Chains A and B, each alone.
Chain A
Amino acid sequence: MDVSRRNFLKLAGAVSAGSALGGLSMARPIHAYAKDLPTKGAKEVPTLCPYCAVGCGQIAHVRDGKLVNLEGDASHPISRGRLCSKGAATYQMTVNDRRLTKVLYRAPGASEWQEKPYDWALQEVAKRFKATRDATFVEKDGGALVNRCDGIAWIGSACTDNEECYLFAKLARSAGIVSLEHQARL
Chain B
Amino acid sequence: MPKLAMFVDVTKCVGCRACTVACKQWNKLPMDKTHFTGSYQNLPDLTPTTYRLVTFKEEPFGGSVSWHLLSHSCFHCNDAPCVKACPVPGAMTQSADKGYVAVDRKKCIGCKYCVTACPWGIPKYESKSEVVAKCTFCAERVENNLTTACAKSCPTGAIAFGDRDGLLAAAKKRVEASKKIFPKAQIYGPGAYGGKGTNVFYLLKEEPSFYGLPPEPVASAALGLWKDVLRPLTGWGIGATVIGALIHYLAKGPADYEEKGEGHGRS
Task: Say yes or no for B234: interface residue by CB 8 A criterion.
Answer: yes
Cα A91 to Cα B22 in complex, Å, equals 10
Closest to B20 in A: A85
Chain B hits for A74, CB < 8 A: 152
Chain B hits for A71, CB < 8 A: 22, 25-26, 149, 152-153
Q: How far is the CB of B56 from chain A (nearest CB, A)?
A: 14
Q: How far is the CB of B200 from chain A (nearest CB, A)?
A: 17
Q: How many A-B residue pairs have CB under 8 A?
A: 111
Cα A14 to Cα B90 in complex, Å, equals 25
Cα A30 to Cα B144 in complex, Å, equals 17
Given the interface pairs A85-B17, A89-B21, the reply to whether A23 lies near B96 with Cβ below 8 Å is: no
Cα A26 to Cα B236 in complex, Å, equals 12
Q: How many residues of A contact B (CB 8 A)?
A: 40
Contact with A along B210-245 (1 / 0, CB 8 A): 000000000000000000000110111111001001
Q: Which residues of B does A touch, CB under 8 Å?
A: 16-18, 20-22, 24-26, 83, 89-90, 93-96, 102, 104, 139-141, 143-144, 146, 149, 152-155, 231-232, 234-239, 242, 245, 257, 263-264
Q: Name 13 extra pairs, CB < 8 A, besides A17-B239, A17-B242, A85-B17.
A: A4-B263, A6-B257, A20-B235, A20-B236, A30-B93, A32-B93, A37-B144, A38-B140, A84-B18, A85-B21, A86-B21, A88-B25, A89-B21
Q: Which residues of A does B touch, CB under 8 Å?
A: 4-6, 13, 16-17, 19-21, 23-24, 26, 28-38, 69-72, 74, 79, 81-89, 91-92
